[in-house]
Amino acid sequence: MILLLDIGNSAVKWATLDDRGDDRGDDEDTLTCVGSRVYRPEGIGSVAETCWRGLSPTRPTRIVASNVGGDALAKDLCDWTQATWQLEVSFLRPEAQGYGVKNAYRDPTRLGADRWAALVGAARRSHGHLCVVDCGTAVTIDALSADNTHLGGLIVPGIRMMRHALVAGTAQIRYTSGAGASLLAVDTGSAVAGGTLYAVVALIDRVVADLSRELSGAVTILLTGGDAALALPLLNGVVEYEANLVMHGLAVVAKTATQAQVAEAQVAE
């Protein structure tokens, strides 16, 4: 069993993957024990102890992770996995080209590991031009052409971050969690909720419209992330929602590594 980890800026998601090295086609069928939890401020070690120690009757054989939470968090995670399972963590590193995807970044290593994993997952299911949108703490938008060439992307504050920034940066604007979002609000809380949501939706729609003209073809929005459900009903065009897109990318990486290890073993024999 392989443990897959998607470590974001404030929360961690996980899933397990069968490690038999066979290719049964759809990665979605092989993901089990999917879960998520906010890890700040308690720390990744506390989440690991509570949520992962009893994931399976047998301990993981490998751990593959996407981490944008920083080096200190990575060290805490490695300390726990070593103490608990005597296992190292394989952290995903973006490449210039890999897993069928060509990276557009001048320095490929500067692309976020979560964005790289999402692109790998998107490429496995791609049948045309895609706009891969992750609505999390930040909103990331990445264009992927029909031949799985990454064209570049954008990063803006996420919906909740915008709301917090408005409250922190003004004297009289107040917002409480749970305020309803509407097109034209009649109270300040709803105006903040609606304005920040429509800002993200309008950005996505405009990028897709411009990208469609540039590529001379239809562009499908592939949506993921914790706040994706807020934007989903308001977006124009063709939209596909995949809650575990990063996990599917990590699954591709993990299975590719497993198949390579099997091939090496066969050569050695």
Question: Are 149 and 102 a contacting pair, CB within 8 Å?
Answer: yes
**pTM for this structure?**
0.90
114 has catalytic annotation: yes
Inside any domain, residue 114: no
Q: Are residues 230 and 132 in the same domain?
A: yes
Residue after which a domain boundary falls, among 93, 113, 147: 93
Q: Is residue 115 part of a domain?
A: no
d(CA 238, CA 42): 39
In the chain, the number of structural domains is 2
Residue 190 belongs to a domain: yes
Which residues share a beta bridge with 15?
A: 4
pLDDT at 263: 45
Domain that holds residue 59: 2-93
Q: Is 236 left (phi over 0), alpha (psi -120 to 50) or beta?
A: beta
Q: Is 186 exposed, middle or buried (0-12, 13-18, 19+ CB in 10 A)?
A: exposed
Profile the chain (269 residues) by mean pLDDT over runs of 10 residues: 93 87 51 90 91 82 95 96 95 96 97 97 89 96 97 97 93 77 86 94 98 96 95 95 95 82 44
* Residue 261 domain flag: no
> Token pair of 63, please?
């751990």
147 and 47 within one domain: no
**CATH number of the domain encompassing residue 184:** 3.30.420.40
104 vs 202: CA distance, rounded Å: 24
Q: Is residue 264 part of a domain?
A: no
**Is-contact 76 266, C-beta < 8 A?**
no
- Asked if residue 267 belongs to a domain, the reply is no
> 154 with 229, same domain?
yes
pLDDT of residue 56: 67
Quote the CA–CA distance of 129 and 149 in Å, as a whole number: 10
- Domain match, 62 and 135 both: no
Task: Tell me how far apart the alpha carbons of residues 111 and 93 are, in angstroms, rounded to a whole number.
Answer: 9
The one-letter code for the residue type at 53 is R
- Kindly state whether residues 74 and 163 are assigned to the same domain: no
Q: Is residue 86 domain-shared with residue 133, that is, in the same domain?
A: no
**Largest pairwise CA distance in the chain:** 73
State whether 87 and 142 are in the same domain.
no
Q: Does residue 151 share a domain with residue 85?
A: no
In the chain, at which residue ranges do the beta strands (DSSP E only) sit?
A: 2-7, 11-17, 31-38, 62-67, 90-91, 97-98, 101-102, 129-135, 138-144, 150-157, 219-224, 239-241
Question: Do residues 141 and 221 both lie within one domain?
Answer: yes
Residue 150 is assigned to a structural domain of this protein: yes
Would 112 be classed as within a structural domain? no
Q: How many CB atoms lie within 10 A of CB 61?
A: 12
Same domain, 69 and 143: no
The amino acid at 221: I
Where does 19-122 show beta strands of DSSP type E? 31-38, 62-67, 90-91, 97-98, 101-102
Looking at 19, 27, 76, 114, which residue is catalytic?
Answer: 114
